[in-house]
Structure 1
């Protein structure tokens, strides 16, 4: 059989001669799908970029808040109504190192003469701290400003030892009567006053 004979028997599907709706050829369908996909890609990209911007804005805002919080609380600065500022150390030191820590910050260990101040300090201190009272010179208890102790807020049975010459405030012992004498070489945090 001849190749011409085979093609003679195949019906001719010429779209010009066929009544009814015309369909697009394959290359036209690809172009339309490409445009449709392109639009969706553009919308999806825009939405993703918008979400990334929002997430970055939230992240930057949280970082700013975190940095501000850390800056304000790093030294745990507390303001007394009498315009006195208190600062608590973040690290534990002996009494002499604690005093130097305060002096390096243009302050000194806290001096407590009144019950009001004692209650105020005890209200925000959550752990044991050195205060500015000692008898390092083996005489009377003396504040860091060289004034003598007139009235103390001692825990029951304190002071109790001749070799414990520095004083801590321990809020775990109560809100008012919470002073304890310790050896000055012990390491605890301190509270400074400016």
Structure 2
């Protein structure tokens, strides 16, 4: 019996020790697993750290790139606005200059037309017009010839009266001069003057005054009391009368 008790004790003790060993082994393994897991997580974290650092760097670069792109966009927009403004201003200036030039041409043409319309009429077999401007004798004649006419030739008293009514109080050139031979007065068609409608004590200019104007109303104070033809210096500016035969209009 005592042997049985002893054996039981030994067996019991052995089993208890075995059980304790098993328990301890489990605890050790579990501890080791925990340590291993911890180390694994730590290594994983350590290994992952560079990736997180790279991501953070990319985020920093992205956050810096956004303002730079915005600034560049603003600069491009500002440049486009400036270029467009300069273009519009240049076009506007050109259009303004072209408009002013066109208006000047229209004004000049209107003045020229008005000058022709103011004094334009028919008499017998001729068409007459007196521009509302002044030129010297040579330029006056050129104006007429460029339009298929010439300075007026006065053939008789009726035509002289007609000219007086047409000219009013203006001093006008007629187609008569003695530029070739002094005191030999010739009309623009080459015919020589036989009689005329000279004012009192005219012509009297000698070689200084070789062209002729007609005055219907005395011009004070220059020619007081003088009515009719006067010889004058050819480079003086006066109005003039052009004459064109009606047959040339047909």
TM-score under structure 1 normalisation?
A: 0.59
CA deviation map 1:104-161 (0-9, x unaligned): 1110000012111111111121200000000111341000000000111001010011
Question: Would you say the 8 A contact 2:120–2:128 is kept in 1?
Answer: yes
Which residue pairs with 1:103 in the alignment?
145
2:239 to 181, 189, 194: 189
Q: Give the RMSD, CA atoms, in angstroms.
A: 2.2
1:137 aligns with 2:180: yes
Q: Which runs of 5+ in 1 are unaligned?
A: 1-66
Which residue pairs with 2:217 in the alignment?
172
Normalized per residue, the structure richer in helix is 2
Kindly report which structure 2 residues correspond to 1:115-154, keeping only aligned pairs within 5 A, or say none.
115-126=157-168, 127-139=170-182, 140-154=184-198
Higher relative contact order (Cα pairs below 8 Å, separated by 6+ residues): 1
Question: Would you say the 8 A contact 2:116–2:130 is kept in 1?
Answer: no
Question: Would you say the 8 A contact 2:118–2:132 is kept in 1?
Answer: yes
TM-score under structure 2 normalisation?
A: 0.46
Which structure has the larger Rg over C-alpha atoms? 2
Task: Report the CA distance shift for 1:161/1:90 in structure 2 as closer, same or farther (over 3 A).
Answer: same
Residue-pair matches, total: 124
Task: Report the CA distance shift for 1:103/1:188 in structure 2 as closer, same or farther (over 3 A).
Answer: same
Q: Which consecutive aligned stretches of 4+ in structure 1 deviate over 6 angstroms post-superposition?
A: none
CA deviation map 1:22-56 (0-9, x unaligned): xxxxxxxxxxxxxxxxxxxxxxxxxxxxxxxxxxx
1:83 aligns with 2:125: yes
State the 1:89 CA deviation. 1.7
Kindly report which structure 2 residues correspond to 1:10-159, keeping only aligned pairs within 5 A, or say none.
74=117, 76-80=119-123, 82-126=124-168, 127-139=170-182, 140-159=184-203
